[in-house]
Structure 1
Amino acid sequence: MKQRAYNFNAGPSALPLAVLEKAQKEFVDFQGTGMSVMELSHRSAAYEEVHNQAIARLRSLLSIPDQYEVLFLQGGASLQFSMIPMNFLSSGQKAGYITTGSWSEKAFKEAELFGEPYHIASSKENHYRDIPALSELTFNEQDAYIHLTSNNTIYGTQWKEFPQTENVPLIADMSSDILSRPIDVSQFGLIYAGAQKNLGPAGVTVVIIHKDLLEKANAEVPTMLKYSTHAKTNSLFHTPPTFGIYMLGEVLRWVEEQGGLDVISQKNEKKANIIYDTIDHSNGFYYGHAEKDSRSLMNITFRLGSEELEKKFLAEAKEAGFVGLNGHRSVGGCRASAYNAVPREACEALSEFMVEFQRKNS
């Protein structure tokens, strides 16, 4: 087999090789059914076991309390930007948004269609280089909810701890760092995440929602866009993305085999630090976008001295087998996304390439 690429794509991103190989073996005949998972009825016992095991594994890994529902939806995080205010924000109601990047800004704009969102804090004036200090945040007890994005793929910043919002539900878009570290789910009213970073292939959206919040949802919402519709039917109201859920379940099994989130978190910190240390010891040849105390362990963003030099760096990196190092099209620069499935060896290889490139171009 051809050597696999050093995959630093921001999403869809690297999947564990062991999971891909298992899926390959089961692709045509899943557990003796004579069919692929993609061919199974979503009402069949064989698929329901896949479905329920994936939910159980996610509950176990994230220590999700019983008072939360786990849903498998579609439409990505972008649909959640609309579903959340559609279900929980009414005309004249306010919701607080902490905007730390492009995705949280997009969520804010969707909320404007349904109620009165406002900015609790924003790092826009600092070009989204940092996460607001918890001490700077104040909350209105009358707000319908508070919304934040836990990790910013474009700018490379990440919340290290989350605000205590008391009786106001805290809602978090965790698309790009869910399952990368332990979290206290009980701090949140709702967590949502597109699968294509750490959970599995694109096409599945995970929602973890407190049952109390479900009961407060607006009644006049289209059936398919009600969280309650999916909670009542175990996410089987209509045909779910069955193969994506199967893959998600296998990724969760792989995380268990690695030792769980404590071990995964330690590995992620070590991987990211390999690249950050290279940046920090380059005497300014490379420089990071994010402030050091806000740096993401998932998305490492950096620049070089000129756009010409960046183009040369990216071209030579591509020739050397590195994929996905281009920064987001809206900001340029470089970005290495070191999600769970990116092996330490890929980060070490990138560090070595960066050091050698600096040597040749200084």
Structure 2
Amino acid sequence: MNRVKNFNAGPAALPLPALERARDELVDFASSGMSVMEHSHRGKEYEKVHDEAIALLRELLGVPDSHEVLFVQGGASQLFAQIPMNLVEKGRTAEYVVSGAWGEKAFSEAKVATAMLGGAARVSCSTGVGEGKEKSYTRVPRPAEVKVDPESAYVHVTSNETIHGVQYEVDPGRPFPAPGAVPLIADMSSDFLWRRFDPARFGLVYAGAQKNIGPSGVVVVIVSKELVARGRKDIPKIFQLRTPAENRSLYNTPPTFGIYMIRNVLAWLKGQGGLGAMEQRNRLKAQKLYAAIDQHASFYRSPVERESRSVMNVVFRLPSEQDEERFVAEAKKRGMVGLKGHRSVGGIRVSTYNAVEPAWVDELIAFMGEFARGA
């Protein structure tokens, strides 16, 4: 078996033990004579997996009884519309803090969804510089820059901007907004479960699984029961958050294999020592990478302000696009893939999610030094 060193931003690397467990159980799950993909979502064999995944999420994060843990479909992009559809009442406004491309997309969908239902959405703060294709993001907002109307339905942030490599709470000077009584909602798709956080601080957290905890097709939602209860009832039932909350995320057929894989990844994560150990592992990977960039500052350049640098998605530029193309091609020859930056910004992007092995990062750093010296 010749597995590559996978630095893709999503779908991303999965832990090999989680994949091997799936391989071993693929055609005969729990001695049932069939695959987990063939089981009814109402059957006891699958429900055991479903409940275990929820229990592991609660255990690893310390999710309080005040919050539900849900599995929903449609990707985080569906939640961009589904959240305002549920939570913005007629005449009220949702506020968005924008620090990158995904925050822009969330706000764009919220404008459409709220307008349909008699509400509104506004950007309370943006760190974007420039216009159109030239617009760039290099930091998260400073606390004093975020002004929240106390009558707002909620405040939405993107905890880690995958494309721009900008992340909250990397430094004490870049904390999440503290909107008081206004619910704080976070898209954590690309940095969910890289370390512990307090779910009780948030009204709702959502994360597409394909970055850090499983395959594409599943979104994990942690939401306060109070927000679920207050959600609108004049939208289709399938889009109401109360529907999965009242039905253990089994109202309709869920993506059973995706949830099974999440269970496998969560079990691996627990076996690694939990989120405390995972944070140490992830921070060390990122520290080494940024040190390598800074060591060769005449050749590699990080566009992100130091205090806002992402631990999950390390982005940098080389002197020219030709150098970047050659860097990606040479790295691929050495079994390192997924290093090309997003098409909207270019450059290099190294995604260092939980499943990315420290040895892969060490090998990449050695290559970076060699490439810079030979350029």
> Which TM-score applies when normalising by structure 2?
0.95
Query: How many Å separate the matches in 2 of 1:219 and 1:40?
Result: 32
Of residues 122, 128, 132, the one that matches 1:124 is: 128
The aligned counterpart of 1:324 is 338
- Please identify, of 126-135 and 245-254, the stretch whose mean Cα deviation from structure 2 is larger: 126-135
Q: Aligned letter for 1:135?
A: A
Q: How does 1:247-326 map to 2 (within 5 A)?
A: 247-326=261-340
Counterpart residue number, 1:94: 93
Q: In structure 1, the residue corresponding to 2:156 is in which secondary structure?
A: strand
Cα deviation 1:163-182 (Å, max 9, x = unaligned): 22111010000000000011
Counterpart amino acid of 1:290? V
Q: CA RMSD in A?
A: 0.9
Runs of 4+ that moved beyond 6 A: none
Out of 153, 157, 175, the position equivalent to 2:166 is: 157
* Residue matched to 1:108: 107
Does the Cα contact within 8 Å between 2:93 and 2:122 map onto a contact in 1?
yes
Q: Name the SS of the counterpart of 1:238 in structure 2.
A: coil
Paired positions, count: 360
TM-score by length of 1: 0.98
Greater alpha carbon shift after TM alignment, 280-289 vs 298-307:
280-289
Q: Are 1:238 and 2:242 counterparts?
A: no
Deviation at 1:139, TM superposition (A): 1.4
Q: Give the Å deviation of 1:159.
A: 0.3
2:239 paired residue number: 225
Alpha carbons 2:97, 2:146 under 8 Å: kept = no
For 2:35, the aligned partner's letter is S
2:199 to 185, 207, 210: 185
- Structure 1 runs not aligned, ≥5 long: none
- 8 Å contact kept, 2:111–2:120: yes
Task: Give the superposition deviation at 1:91.
Answer: 4.0
Using the alignment, how far apart are the partners of 1:38 and 1:102 within structure 2? 35
Deviation digits for residues 42-80 of structure 1 (CA, Å, limit 9, x no counterpart): 000011000000000000101100011111000000000
Match of 2:172 in 1: none
Query: Of 339, 344, 350, which aligns to 2:353?
Result: 339
- Cα deviation per residue 1:97-118 (whole Å; 9 max; x = unaligned)? 0001111111101111213211
Match of 1:80 in 2: 79
In structure 2, the residue matched to 1:210 is 224
Range with bigger deviation, 168-177 or 106-115: 106-115
Identity within the alignment, %: 51
**In 1, Cα distance between the equivalents of 2:297 and 2:257?**
47
Output the amino acid matched with 2:108. K
8 Å CA contact 2:125–2:147 kept in 1: the answer is no
**Deviating more after overlay: 295-304 vs 305-314:** 305-314
Q: How much has 1:192 moved relative to structure 2?
A: 0.4
Deviations 1:272-314 (CA, angstroms, capped at 9, x unpaired)? 1111110000032000121110000000000000111111111
2:90, 2:234 → 1: CA distance?
13
